[in-house]
């Protein structure tokens, strides 16, 4: 859809040839579902069952709940459907709490066999799309922001793309003995990176665009990213906090949003709800 920036240029709209709608053709590659999210998911499943084409469906993240039954079937039946869920957090801003997903992304992560990828910069987004297109044994949900995010150019593009394919990786490495690990996904990655520069040289930043892919990596790789010897960890994500505790442990902290949002411009909402680099710095400084 145009609102998700997912329209295929020149793809044509799947409509009768005599339709007066722009781009109408019975050979169109774009199906306009409007607000029929469950039908969209079910039809994507049907296309995937046939196997000739790859299908993707797009809507705002908060409306993913309307197609949960079809997502469950895709995961259960190992169908390579791609979901493109945009407007992924309270960063939606003035649309208010009805359109600000806080529980939705975690609600998707609990599906067995669904890869949920929330990239933190353009190169991670490329890696996430490659992961979705290469996957043949199950569906992938791409979780994307409405607001702009910073490009983490300190690491080469290749490293960020490959890191996204692994699900989690070290995007900023400490230059002194490791004292603290910051974890983040999506639009909060830039806050973790900014906070690391303010806290000190013993800080590592781990980008975690996809928990499911990271959990499938070898024990040695996971240990290299999150060494057990460092128990001082802080995760930040603009959503409910619960799932992050499996990475930060009982000694760690999670800066999440365990409440519904507010209606205000994106920067105001993010600051009010603690999604800032300064909030990460404060959390690190408050450690006993």
SS3 assignment for the chain: CHHHCCCCCCCCEECCCCCCCCCEECCCCECCCCCCHHHHHHHHHHHHHHCCCCCEEEEEHHHHHHHHHHHHHHHHCCCCCEEEEECCCHHHHHHCHHHCCCCHHHHHHCCCCCEEECCCCHHHHHHHHHHHHHCCCCCEEEECCCCCCCCCCCCCHHHHHHHHHHCCEEEECCCCCCCEEEEECHHHHHHHHHHHHHHCCCEEEEECCCHHHHHCCCHHHHHHHCCCCCCCEEEECCCCCHHHHHHHCCCCEEECCCCCCCCCCHHHHHHHCCCCHHHHHHHHHCCC
Which structure tokens are listed for 110?
């609990």
Alpha-carbon distance of 118 to 85, in angstroms, equals 10
Distance from the first to the final alpha carbon of the chain: 49
CB–CB of 193/170 below 8 Å? no
Active site residues: 37
Q: Is 156 exposed, middle or buried (0-12, 13-18, 19+ CB in 10 A)?
A: exposed
């Amino acid at each position: 859809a145009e609102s998700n920036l997912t329209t295929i240029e020149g793809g044509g709209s799947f409509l009768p040839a005599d339709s007066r709608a722009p781009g109408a053709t019975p050979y169109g590659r774009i199906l306009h579902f409007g607000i029929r999210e469950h039908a969209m998911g079910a039809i994507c499943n049907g296309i995937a069952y046939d196997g000739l084409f790859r299908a993707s469906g797009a809507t705002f993240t908060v409306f993913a709940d309307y197609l949960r039954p079809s997502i469950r079937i895709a995961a259960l039946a190992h169908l390579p459907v791609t979901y493109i869920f945009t407007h992924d957090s309270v960063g939606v801003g003035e649309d208010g709490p009805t359109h600000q997903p806080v529980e939705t992304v975690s609600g998707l992560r609990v599906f067995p066999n669904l890869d949920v990828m929330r990239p933190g910069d353009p190169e991670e987004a490329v890696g996430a799309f490659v992961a979705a297109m290469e996957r043949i044994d199950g569906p992938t949900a791409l979780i994307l922001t409405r607001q702009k995010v910073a490009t983490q150019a300190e690491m080469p593009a290749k490293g960020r793309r490959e890191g996204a394919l692994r699900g989690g990786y070290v995007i900023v490495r400490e230059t002194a003995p490791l004292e603290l690990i910051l974890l983040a996904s999506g639009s909060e990655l830039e806050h973790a990176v900014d906070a690391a520069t303010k806290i000190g040289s013993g800080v590592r930043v781990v980008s975690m665009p996809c928990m499911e892919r990271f959990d499938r990596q070898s024990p040695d790789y996971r240990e290299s990213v999150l060494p057990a010897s460092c128990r001082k960890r802080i995760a930040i994500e603009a959503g409910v906090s619960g799932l992050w505790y499996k990475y930060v442990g009982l000694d760690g902290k999670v800066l999440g949003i365990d409440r519904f949002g507010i209606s205000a411009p994106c920067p105001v909402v993010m600051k009010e709800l603690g999604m800032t680099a300064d909030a990460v710095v404060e959390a690190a400084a408050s450690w006993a």
